[in-house]
Structure 1
Amino acid sequence: MSNTYFNHIPCGQTLPVNNVHAVSVSMPNLQDVIDYEEQTPEILEIIKSGYPRFILHPYLKQLASYIKEKYGVSDSYEVVLLSSQRAVKLVSDKYYIHNKIEIYEPFGVILVQNGTCQLQRVLSYIQHVGCNLSSRLAEKYLFEKGLIASLHQEILEDKDTSKDIVISTLANAYKQPKENVHLAPSGMNAIYSVVRGINSIQAKNGRTVLVQLGWLYLDTMNIVNHHYQEQKSFPHLDKLELLEEYLKENGLKVSAIITEIPTNPLLKCFDLKRVRALCDKYNIPLIIDTTFATPYNLDLTSYADIFVESLTKFACGNADVLMGAIILNKKHPLSHMNWEFFKHCEPVYIKEIQRLAFQIKDYEKRVKTISSNTKKLISYLEKASFIKKVYHCMDENNKELYSQAIIDENSYCGVISVEFTKPLTQSYDKLNFAKGPSLGTEFTLLMPYTYLAHYDLIQTKQGREHLKEVGLPIDLIRISVGVEPIEEIINEFEKLKNSN
């Protein structure tokens, strides 16, 4: 069965196609993903850009070269660009880098010695904390210096109104005053700022343990590891009695509980009422990453004290803006200390806000369309002969828990994860959807989650055992459902019925 709606996108092409600010990149075959993870020279020639926290944007590479030449930096040092001078101090202090450079630029620069393990540690920390330099700022700088010929053509909202459009939309969606909403240059930077804020407030009260509830997104766990010496993880959401027992002994030592709903990538939910009751009992703030849920599928105002959302996903919808937000619940006593949670956020470049302001206008409509498509796609996939298992927010294990906060019966989270009955080379490889990192796009986007997020664990027996223990299948494919006609999405999957 042919399908002309979806076409093969070559490896290395930006997603969205031909967009220099794209945050995803096409990896149409499993071997492309493996080659990328193993950093083979061939794949590095093809994949020039990708998710900005993981792959250095071409404009940032070009700008770093220019800065190196402009300031006469020795070849024994790598020029690392950051979002601000404050970020320079943060990274320099953490890694005892004293070779800072005196510059007069609208961004931060540090010099890290080449050929040392320190460089990789610095780059990883920047990735986790999300203090990357904006590609749009780099583009403007390079254009004004005559180093690139043109600016990417895109629709932007007016400078004077764009920030208010974004913040007002989020404030209304989360039912909070505008002063309780703050923007960050990425979802990870928003989480970092909240974790730092909680730490500084709660440590004074002897609360020094951060609890992670569920198997969280990789970099959320990394941020916690960087900034909390004491932490406790409860990866199994169906075993809340373990959390309850722990809190009986340690409840007054816990600074916060951080979680996602539903979780990435298995779409698991937990008993919100039970966890909220525990938080109230021990006076523990509950931080929820709402990126998957969105404020239009779940109303979590009765449960969360602090919301964190990656606006790069459903709020943007086009995968060409990197941004995040912190939303404080006015019901929580700590909400009046908003500056403590906001002050660690890096500045957001105005053109990123202008672009998001244009896209966020369709946020609610986009989510409703995706939710409707998701519901229909789940019905199809659960009956498909080529599917081994479907993970979604409204499956028999989740439905009652997810419904504790659901806005209406059609509010399906727009992400599904599946296991195919055949190897990925005979299933994932044969589909012509866009395939690469990220989610929440208006175009259907597939990602071999475990290969891209936990490739290191796949490589060792101990790692594979750990994945088995937390219930994360190696061949899991995450589907971010788009707004295309559902018949066309299903039609593309239909080709797997007869594939060899």
Structure 2
Amino acid sequence: MPHIKLGESIPPDTAHAVSVSLPTWKSNVAYEEGEQWVVGSMTTGYPRFFIHRSIVALAEVIAQTFGQPGHQAMLFPNRTTAQRCIGFIKAKAPISAQGRLDSVHLVLDSTSPAAAPLQPLHPTVSAVLFVPEAFSYAKQYWQHSGDGISSRRAEFCHGLLGQGLLVPQESLPKAAPIKQLPCKGPRRYQKPMSIDETATAAPRKTSPPPATTGPDSDESSRFVEERFGRNLDISLVERAKTAIRRRIAGTLTSDVDVRKEPLPQAEPSNRGVHGLTEHDIYLYPMGMNAIFNTHRLLLSARGSLKSIEFGFPYVDTLKILEKFGPGCVFYGRASEADLDDLERRLKAGERFLGLFCEFPSNPVLSCPNLKRIRSLADQYDFAVVVDETIGTFANINVLQYADVVVSSLTKIFSGDCNVMGGSAMLNPRGKYYTALKEAATRDYEDTYWAEDAIFLERNSRDFATRIERVNANAEAICDVLLASPLVKRVHYPKHHPESKANYDVCKVPGGGYGGLLSAVFNRKTDAMVFYDNIATAKGPSLGTNFTITSPYVVLAHYAEMDWAASLGVDPDLLRISVGLEETDELVAVFKAALQAVEDESTDAAA
């Protein structure tokens, strides 16, 4: 991938990109310090940490239109998620920040004929309105939970609001009739899907809505045609979600076009657990939202108990377990010694809701002993939740040891770095399966935006074949780094005896060790020079079809580097997510960066 300038989206010119370019070590530090030369240059950012400009634009309009003077807004897909945010603010924010706390729930104007074709999409937006002092608390909820709206939903709903087709729910007649149209919709929506649009300016603020005279009024028709018809056939939305669920369940294993009838389905699932079907897969707007809602389902099914975070966690998983419920016990190394200590606590009578772990973990790629964890869970009555995002189900089968398997579909399942998504999979042979299904029947709401589902389905069609190349490339890069005297340590499941043994228990026939690795250099200055010179994309996220490098600990744990170091995570660690490039070319890129470090050292010595 060619050089991407500071603050530009990764991939470049992509309106809904998941990453942003931070091309030097200095720019990563400056980002964490909030320096304007970096922050002011950013066209986008990782969606749970950077509020997309399309979302900001819609939030400003909603706050100005429906709020009180000085109000700000945080946007969610429906009333339920907005109310959870309000509950969090009331529980965590000082009383002074809770003044004028309000909400507005915007839905399609069902009395307008122009809205009728869009009813199958359920394009709703709920805004939590608050004074500026409450912003940081609303942002905490938004970031930890992953409940916020997607940028595609924001763009689409902003346009509907501008056309007068999105209105406060309370303003509609209570018994407003909902005209049911055939799912296929008007002919103008039946167009092939396009590739992702390039970045455009943020939507304009809403002006007074134009008058509409019927379903084909010029303004409404033009908006729907330009923003909607080009991208999406309404009839494909549920089929796309079905295809995604079947791919995750392992019952759809071929590369198919969802427009074809019928969708092929293989039985039984190749996930190695009898009885697993697509109906055991739940889709969410992003991976962290899958974890957040899995925790909620467990609390609903099993009652209020502490959880266990086992292993060095991705940032917000630990925050979810600490802030939403009775708390958690944290084991940061996921070692056998940690399991020994947990077993002592269990024998002494402590009881837990569930154990949450990653397999492998981010960023040190350690793999906990799932077989022993399963044995303890069965003996002492707690659920096991495994995040398989990094290993991926094309390489590993962790469902055999888990009650719930969660994943960020944003990563290698998509690969294109232009859409968010997440999933939770229930083990039909698990002890808590019936209770979790009942809780899901009560509580699960599908808030995954239609356009996002369409993009994710299309991106994931060749998932299985991409994994093979990524596995091979990652091993080749490991070999390059391990051979360099500049490198102190390479974290990769294959090259850590204890982790490899635990990984191999779960590795599927023909599977590999994944596309993520981390490197620690002997000197911080060497890590900095290597990062500045590596000719890959450089920014947050992983699992992209192209190689992307990040000084992960700087970005994820800048304010707690000593804490990370105490758990064996080097502050200067470089995380490398390996892509689909030609192996020889990729090896040359890494060798060139290592040579730049050697040249810099030679010049400094001279």
2:246 aligns with one of 168, 186, 198: 168
- Tell whether the 8 Å contact from 2:474 to 2:578 is kept in structure 1 after alignment: yes
Query: RCO (CA 8 Å, sep 6+): is it higher in 1 or 2?
Result: 1
2:496 aligns with one of 383, 387, 396: 396
- Tell whether the 8 Å contact from 1:418 to 1:477 is kept in structure 2 after alignment: yes
Q: Deviations over 1:11-56 (max 9, x none)?
A: 1111111111001101011111111111112222101311111001
Q: What residue identity is the alignment partner of 2:379?
A: K
2:513 aligns with one of 412, 416, 429: 412
What is the match of residue 309 of structure 2?
Answer: 212
**Aligned 1:196-345 pairs, distance under 5 A:** 196-203=296-303, 208-238=305-335, 239=337, 240-251=339-350, 253-336=351-434, 337-341=436-440, 343-344=443-444
What is the match of residue 382 of structure 1?
Answer: 482
Q: Shift of the alpha carbon at 1:174?
A: 3.7
**Distance in 1, Cα, partners of 2:554 & 2:55:** 26
- Tell whether the 8 Å contact from 2:312 to 2:361 is kept in structure 1 after alignment: yes
TM-score w.r.t. length of structure 2: 0.76
Q: What residue identity is the alignment partner of 2:128?
A: I
**Distance in 1, Cα, partners of 2:399 & 2:462:** 22
Matched, 1:478 2:579: no
**Aligned 1:83-232 pairs, distance under 5 A:** 83-96=77-90, 97=98, 99-105=101-107, 106-114=124-132, 116=133, 118-144=134-160, 145=162, 147=203, 151=227, 158-172=236-250, 174=271, 176-203=276-303, 208-232=305-329
Alpha carbons of structure 1 residues 90 and 270: separation in structure 2 relative to 1, 3 Å: same
Q: 2:579 is paired with a residue of what secondary structure?
A: coil
Q: Shift of the alpha carbon at 1:326?
A: 0.6
Q: What residue identity is the alignment partner of 2:239?
A: T
Q: Shift of the alpha carbon at 1:152?
A: 9.9
Q: What residue identity is the alignment partner of 1:142?
A: H
Q: Shift of the alpha carbon at 1:349?
A: 0.7
**Distance in 1, Cα, partners of 2:104 & 2:593:** 58
Q: Deviations over 1:235-288 (max 9, x none)?
A: 22221211221211135x211111111111000012222111111111221110
**Distance in 2, Cα, partners of 1:432 & 1:270:** 33
Alpha carbons of structure 1 residues 132 and 230: separation in structure 2 relative to 1, 3 Å: closer
**Aligned 1:385-464 pairs, distance under 5 A:** 385-397=485-497, 398-408=499-509, 410-422=511-523, 423=525, 424-458=527-561, 464=562
303-312 vs 415-424, greater mean Cα deviation: 415-424
Q: What residue identity is the alignment partner of 1:400?
A: A
Q: Shift of the alpha carbon at 1:143?
A: 4.0
Q: What residue identity is the alignment partner of 2:560?
A: L
Q: Deviations over 1:455-491 (max 9, x none)?
A: 1113xxxxx1x22220110001111110111111111
Q: Shift of the alpha carbon at 1:71?
A: 2.6
Q: What residue identity is the alignment partner of 1:248?
A: K
1:492 aligns with one of 566, 577, 589: 589
**Distance in 2, Cα, partners of 1:452 & 1:339:** 39
Q: Shift of the alpha carbon at 1:344?
A: 4.9
- Tell whether the 8 Å contact from 1:196 to 1:344 is kept in structure 2 after alignment: no
Alpha carbons of structure 1 residues 352 and 189: separation in structure 2 relative to 1, 3 Å: same
8-17 vs 65-74, greater mean Cα deviation: 65-74
Alpha carbons of structure 1 residues 467 and 72: separation in structure 2 relative to 1, 3 Å: closer
Q: Deviations over 1:75-116 (max 9, x none)?
A: x221221222111111112223563134434111111211x2
Q: Shift of the alpha carbon at 1:156?
A: 5.7
- Tell whether the 8 Å contact from 1:194 to 1:341 is kept in structure 2 after alignment: no
Q: 1:427 is paired with a residue of what secondary structure?
A: helix
Q: What residue identity is the alignment partner of 1:403?
A: D
Alpha carbons of structure 1 residues 356 and 409: separation in structure 2 relative to 1, 3 Å: closer
- Tell whether the 8 Å contact from 1:310 to 1:323 is kept in structure 2 after alignment: yes
What is the match of residue 58 of structure 1?
Answer: 53
- Tell whether the 8 Å contact from 1:20 to 1:152 is kept in structure 2 after alignment: no
Alpha carbons of structure 1 residues 454 and 178: separation in structure 2 relative to 1, 3 Å: same
Q: Deviations over 1:60-84 (max 9, x none)?
A: 111122223333641x221221222
**Distance in 1, Cα, partners of 2:149 & 2:68:** 20
Alpha carbons of structure 1 residues 304 and 110: separation in structure 2 relative to 1, 3 Å: same
Alpha carbons of structure 1 residues 392 and 73: separation in structure 2 relative to 1, 3 Å: same
Instruction: Decide which structure has the larger Cα Rg and report it.
Output: 2
**Distance in 1, Cα, partners of 2:34 & 2:445:** 31
Q: What residue identity is the alignment partner of 2:295?
A: V
Q: What residue identity is the alignment partner of 1:243?
A: L
Q: Shift of the alpha carbon at 1:7?
A: 2.2
Q: Deviations over 1:329-383 (max 9, x none)?
A: 1111322232424725561111111111101111111112211211222122211
Alpha carbons of structure 1 residues 426 and 189: separation in structure 2 relative to 1, 3 Å: same
**Distance in 1, Cα, partners of 2:577 & 2:390:** 10
Q: What residue identity is the alignment partner of 2:532?
A: D
Q: Shift of the alpha carbon at 1:429?
A: 0.7
Unaligned runs of 5+ in 1: 1-5, 459-463
Q: 1:139 is paired with a residue of what secondary structure?
A: helix
Alpha carbons of structure 1 residues 230 and 159: separation in structure 2 relative to 1, 3 Å: closer
Q: 2:518 is paired with a residue of what secondary structure?
A: strand
**Distance in 1, Cα, partners of 2:38 & 2:63:** 26
Alpha carbons of structure 1 residues 196 and 433: separation in structure 2 relative to 1, 3 Å: same
Q: What residue identity is the alignment partner of 1:414?
A: G
What is the match of residue 209 of structure 2?
Answer: none
Q: What residue identity is the alignment partner of 1:402?
A: Y
**Distance in 1, Cα, partners of 2:228 & 2:35:** 30
**Distance in 2, Cα, partners of 1:101 & 1:277:** 46
Runs of 4+ in 1 over 6 A off after TM superposition: 152-155
Unaligned runs of 5+ in 2: 91-97, 108-123, 164-202, 205-222, 251-269, 601-606
Alpha carbons of structure 1 residues 182 and 163: separation in structure 2 relative to 1, 3 Å: same
**Distance in 2, Cα, partners of 1:160 & 1:273:** 36
- Tell whether the 8 Å contact from 1:9 to 1:432 is kept in structure 2 after alignment: no
Alpha carbons of structure 1 residues 37 and 471: separation in structure 2 relative to 1, 3 Å: same
TM-score w.r.t. length of structure 1: 0.92
Q: What residue identity is the alignment partner of 1:407?
A: V
Q: What residue identity is the alignment partner of 1:295?
A: F
Q: Shift of the alpha carbon at 1:119?
A: 1.4
Q: Shift of the alpha carbon at 1:420?
A: 2.4
Q: What residue identity is the alignment partner of 1:13?
A: E
